[in-house]
Structure 1
Amino acid sequence: MPRSYLDDVRRPGQTVNPLFAFLGVKPVALERERAVLELPFRPEFVQGGGVMAGGLLAALADEAMAHVVLANLEPGRRTATVEMSVRYFRPVLEGALTATAELVHAGRRIVSVEAQVRDAAGRLAAKASGSFFILEPKAP
C-alpha cells in the first residue's frame, strides 16, 4: 500500500476511506513516526448519558494507530488490528477530538502502537495500545 492511499486519504472529499468520510475524520499528519487524526464534534456522537460515545474515541484511536502502521508498510502489504486496549480518563461533552498515535515496536508480522485521544482543550480523554498484524500480498 500505501503511499497512494496515504496521499489520497488527505484530499478533501476523499473516497478511499469511507469511515473517515462518514465520521468526518480529518488526517492532520500521516507519517512513519506518528499519525494525527481529528474528529470534529457532531451532536450525533453524544449517547443517551449526554457524553460522546466511548466507542468513537476507541475507533479514532484505532484508526490513528492503523495509519502509523500503514505509513511503515512495504507496497502490497496491508494491516489489521489483532488486539486493542483502551483506558478512558474523562468524559467528552463537546468539541473536536484529536488522536495522536506513535509506533512502539515493529516486528516482521506484528506491530505495536500507542495512541492518545485529547479533547478540544488538549486534555487527555483516552489512551489506547494495539497490536496490528501485517498481511502479506496475495500470490499471483
Structure 2
Amino acid sequence: MDNEYLTWLQNDFEDSPFWKHMGISMDYLSEGEARIKMPVSQNQMNCNQYLHGGAITSLLDSIMGVTIRSSRDVKVATISFNSHFVAPVKDGVLYATANVVHSGKRILPMESKVIDDQGRLIATASAAFTFLKK
C-alpha cells in the first residue's frame, strides 16, 4: 500500500463518529501493521467504576479491521467475535494490535490484544471477517 492510501485510511477511521466518541486514534500505521490507542475516560466506566467491556471489545474489533485494511483496499465486516478479558481497567491509555491468522479468499481469521500503558495484558480476541462487495 502506498503512503497516500495509508494516510487516507487513517483519516477515514479517525473521522468516524464512533472513534471520535470513544477517543480512539491511530498510534502507528504501516502496510499490514497498526496500533491504535484509547485514553480511558469517565464516560466509558461501568457501574462498578471499571472500564466497560464494550469499550475494550470496540478496541479489539477496530484494530482487526484497521490491520486488514492496511494491507488491502477492501471493506470488511465482522462475522464472529470471541473476547477474553484478563485484567480490569480504571485509568490510563490502552493500546491494541492485531494479526492475520490465515489469509483466506472469503473469510479472514484474526487475533488481537489490548495492553495498558504499563504493558499489562488487558484482553484478547479472535474473530473472523468477510470481505464486503464494493
TM-score by length of 1: 0.84
1:92 alignment partner AA:
V
- Identity across the alignment (%): 28
1:69 Cα offset (Å): 1.1
Distance 1:5 1:55, change over 3 A: farther
2:10 alignment partner AA:
R
2:41 alignment partner AA:
R
- Answer yes or no: is the 8 Å Cα contact 1:9–1:27 preserved in 2: no
The structure in which a higher percent of residues are helix is: 2
Q: Where in structure 1 are there 5+ consecutive unaligned residues? A: none
CA distance in 1 between counterparts of 2:108 and 2:90 reads: 33
Q: How does 1:100-139 map to 2 (within 5 A)?
A: 100-137=97-134
CA RMSD of aligned residues (A): 2.0
TM-score by length of 2: 0.87
Q: Where in structure 2 are there 5+ consecutive unaligned residues? A: none
Q: Size of the alignment, in residue pairs?
A: 131
CA distance in 1 between counterparts of 2:80 and 2:33 reads: 19
What CA deviation, in whole Å up to 9, does each residue of 1:32-51 have, x standing for no partner?
Answer: 43221100121111111110
Q: How does 1:13-52 map to 2 (within 5 A)?
A: 14-15=14-15, 17-52=16-51
What CA deviation, in whole Å up to 9, does each residue of 1:21-78 have, x standing for no partner?
Answer: 121111112334322110012111111111000110000010000111112224xx31
